[in-house]
Chain A
Amino acid sequence: GAVVSQHPSRVICKSGTSVKIECRSLDFQATTMFWYRQFPKQSLMLMATSNEGSKATYEQGVEKDKFLINHASLTLSTLTVTSAHPEDSSFYICSASPGLAGGDEQFFGPGTRLTVL
């Protein structure tokens, strides 16, 4: 149980286009979902936290207009990278928590590799 999927697993796009990444909790309802970014040989950096039906809370330094997060249902959150540029190339990982992020375990997706040409 507690499986989280991400789609796509890998995407290559041209500079200036927008890319949407989906994160789904397959067998539980996720009140809270988290989006992380991971650079090679670096830590996972939290980008934003989203609660279902509410606006996402972004970490300092993360551009909310560039990284649009939608958590419209208890099983789906999306991250849209708008007007992507090569510096946005990275590994994006989501996690989902069944609680209201009140210390409940986070279950992680397998990640999405974004390459912007």
Chain B
Amino acid sequence: GNSVTQMEGPVTLSEEAFLTINCTYTATGYPSLFWYVQYPGEGLQLLLKATKADDKGSNKGFEATYRKETTSFHLEKGSVQVSDSAVYFCALTENSGGSNYKLTFGKGTLLTVNP
């Protein structure tokens, strides 16, 4: 079956530091890949996505590139801010047949950015 593995947290950085959160996946087909973010007390929000190999998703200074050869979708940001403190989830969708696209999530990585 499909699975997503992302780096264990928590990750603690100082403001303006470079961020990388690793994510690798296993899939039988050609999934779409996502990063979701969950701020304290809120629901998950879509941060960025990529639907095919070599696509780069980007949003709010975050980027991730769909690497089919390494089955990876690492999240990066050049300069983090305190407001980026949240839990980040890597996920993929598979077309399970019919019209249902199911999300498979990684375990989440807690990021804390200190001023």
Contact = CB atoms under 8 A, between A and B. Distances in A.
Q: Do A and B bind each other?
A: yes
Interface of A: 4, 32, 34, 41-44, 46, 49, 57, 93, 95, 100-103, 105-111
B46 A105 contact: yes
Q: How large is the interface on B (under 10, 10 to 19, 20 to 34, 35 or more residues)?
A: 20 to 34
A43 B108 contact: yes
Interface string B90-107: 000101000111111111
Q: Could you tell me the dominant secondary structure of chain B's interface residues?
A: strand
Contact of B44 (A42, A101, A108): A108
Given A4-B43, A109-B43, A110-B41, A100 B103 contact: no
Given A43-B4, A46-B102, A100-B99, A108 B43 contact: yes
Interface in B49-101: 89, 93, 95, 99-101
Q: Ordered nearest first, which 8 A-B pairs have the shortest CB separation?
A: A108-B43, A108-B44, A43-B105, A44-B105, A110-B43, A101-B100, A102-B99, A100-B99
A101 B103 contact: no
Contacts of B32: 103
Interface of B: 4, 32, 36, 41-46, 89, 93, 95, 99-108
Q: Which of A46, A49, A106, A110 has the most CB of B within 10 A?
A: A106
Contacts of A32: 100
A95 B36 CA distance: 13
A42 B107 contact: yes
Contact of A49 (B45, B89, B100): B100
Given A44-B89, A93-B44, A108-B43, A57 B100 contact: yes
20 contacts: A41-B108, A43-B4, A43-B89, A43-B104, A43-B105, A43-B107, A43-B108, A44-B89, A44-B103, A49-B100, A49-B102, A93-B44, A101-B99, A102-B99, A103-B101, A106-B103, A107-B43, A108-B44, A108-B45, A110-B41
